[in-house]
Amino acid sequence: MNFSQLAEFAGNHSLLVAAFFGVLFLIIVTELNRKRMTQRDLGPLQLTQLVNHQDAMVLDVRNPADFQQGHIVNAKNIPIAELPTRLKELEKHKDKPIIVCCQRGVTSLAGVNQLTQAGFDKVFNLKGGINGWVSDKLPLSKK
């Protein structure tokens, strides 16, 4: 197929060509977003390294009852529903990494997005959440 045939096809089927480019655009945007979010996922080992070497903060966005059942040592609990109104509590940590966690690593993605939109640059998600932490046989605190 040469260029003139391609141009003729595009001219005769403009709606089909527009739909193709629309779908192509959506695929590219979706993949870029997926890649961006997976780059923000951390495993338990990376979380520990950030806490130990960069004074990172762990933000647990589960409800207080779940938090009291067991959480990562020194984690701060702000339930996801309260996060927008309690962002000022995190301002002093704005220049340090913040790792957001929940039970399974899904709800915490909303917390990552909220913090990023609020201007926090170094925000990460604990992949697998507390369940992943426990499955790696890492300790929880009940204090």
Domain ranges of the chain: 3-37, 41-135
Q: What is the arithmetic mean of pLDDT over 44-70?
A: 96
At 89-137, the pLDDT tens digits run: 999 999 999 999 999 999 999 999 999 999 998 999 999 999 999 999 9
Give residue 18's pLDDT: 87
Q: Which helix (H) or strand (E) holds 124?
A: strand 123-126
Domain 41-135 is classified in which CATH homologous superfamily? Rhodanese-like domain (3.40.250.10)
- What's the predicted TM-score (pTM) here? 0.74
Helix axes 3-12, 14-39, angle to 10 degrees: 100
- Given a cut of 80, whether residue 49 has pLDDT beyond it is yes
Band (pLDDT 50/70/90 cuts) for residue 36 is low
Length, in residues, of the chain: 143
